[in-house]
Chains A and B, each alone.
Chain A
């Protein structure tokens, strides 16, 4: 049993972790930057420690200051939340060295999954399907053409030195490989100072489906079913739901088996998520593993009735998983909408400011996870996520209807938000019938 957990985060996830600690009878230490003195997570914890100035690298990303805060308050564990240092293996390692329990996987698992080509290699070795591609960067046009012949078309050239879609070039025919290689290496060089590119099969309109896994330190590994997260902008999710609508049972079974096998292969412990792309024929490919609690974990909690954060704390303390696989059942449906301080009419530009008014919804099946309150400042220094709306229903239709009502009952004034966009998404006929893919937002389906 843990005694006191330092929550190395802010916003809604810090409040969520504090709530789970309270439910478990564990003390809490909040940390905060000068910009977050009046933030709700600071008030809600038993104790709080000022880390430093507003910029994250001088506060929430400063490992030494976090460890000092844990020492000075007598905390015996650290929960990293998501973002910030949650997937930094050096932080997990530093906590262990300082004698603190890191509420998450071993540093080695974080490190292995953080290196995206290494993760692909490990998963392929565990029998998990990966997107067909070149094993590493291709040296020249001849190597690119040879790799392209083996992978098939269409394919995509990606920068090895960075992400975010920069340097990507789609190729439909063998005759276009040479030109695309020249373009992609030039772009990669100018964007990342590294011209290396690799090749991957290009998937047309795939779905993003992920599996929640959970493992304890005694060898038990289970999954908590899937989440569908195809509605994304800039490769970041806006809406998630469980179950994934219309997912073929054979595909679902394959995803579950792959996720558990993958987690087992790397000696994973605690909560994690295996992300996959699923094509129209139901074939699926490993994308990456997130070695932390996810933003969208509430949809899984709502359909399984289980508390993932409480279980994180138990497993971190060395206890056995409380659930057997056959006890983990999806009931009904749940959907989450992320309300960001962004202007959907200006290509999701950030919209910092002061929250002048905040009205939140309630009622049957509605759950709100908010990091902000009226009068609070939405700072330029942090992620634009303001709050999450979660709706549960007996079936998908009921969950969608409740979410639509919840969006109408939410008012945020003082900053622009994604709420009008989320309404358009929920009203879209393809979304209503569950026909989703990851390129819908970028292709302008919701303008």
Chain B
């Protein structure tokens, strides 16, 4: 069952440690956001495979935006 991974804060995409097709464990960082001089990982809520990354480095995302999809 695909699950959207959503940003829990507003920030700028700083790094994308995960790639499409990667198998991740619960708690692995999928996207790292930079907000107010802090780097904040958006973590996989459960184990699965990253089926798509919805953002690019440097892009601003709002709280609640989908940043990746997990299957």
Contact = CB atoms under 8 A, between A and B. Distances in A.
A111 to B, nearest CB: 23
Interface stretch (B18-26, B35-43, B47-55): B35-43
Interface stretch (A25-33, A70-78, A380-388): A380-388
A51 B60 CA distance: 20
B10 interface: yes
Interface in A304-353: 341-342, 349-353
A353 B12 CA distance: 14
B18 to A, nearest CB: 16
A220 to B, nearest CB: 36
Contacts of B34: 380
Contacts of A381: 12, 36
Nearest to B61: A380
Nearest to B8: A349
B36 to A, nearest CB: 4
A208 to B, nearest CB: 20
Given A349-B9, A350-B11, A383 B37 contact: yes
Contacts of B35: 350, 352, 380
Secondary structure call for the A interface: loop
Interface of B is mostly: strand
A36 to B, nearest CB: 14
Interface in A385-429: none
A350 B12 contact: no
Contacts of B36: 341-342, 350, 352, 380-384
Contacts of B11: 350, 352, 380
A256 to B, nearest CB: 33
A69 B35 CA distance: 27
A263 B35 CA distance: 35
Contacts of B9: 349-352
A382 B37 contact: yes
B26 to A, nearest CB: 19
A352 B10 contact: yes
A382 B12 CA distance: 11
Interface string A349-390: 111110000000000000000000000000011111000000
A351 B10 CA distance: 8
A380 B40 contact: no
B19 to A, nearest CB: 18
Contacts of B12: 55, 380-381
A341 B40 CA distance: 15
A55 B57 CA distance: 13
A357 to B, nearest CB: 20
A342 B10 CA distance: 12
26 contacts: A55-B12, A341-B36, A342-B36, A349-B9, A349-B40, A350-B9, A350-B10, A350-B11, A350-B35, A350-B38, A350-B40, A351-B9, A352-B9, A352-B10, A352-B36, A353-B10, A380-B10, A380-B12, A380-B34, A380-B35, A381-B36, A382-B37, A383-B36, A383-B37, A384-B36, A384-B37
Interface of A: 55, 341-342, 349-353, 380-384
Given A55-B12, A351-B9, A380-B11, 19 more contacts: A341-B36, A349-B9, A349-B40, A350-B9, A350-B10, A350-B38, A352-B9, A352-B11, A352-B36, A380-B10, A380-B12, A380-B35, A380-B36, A380-B60, A381-B36, A382-B37, A383-B36, A383-B37, A384-B37
* Those 6 A-B pairs whose CB atoms lie nearest each other, nearest first: A350-B36, A384-B36, A350-B35, A380-B35, A352-B10, A380-B11
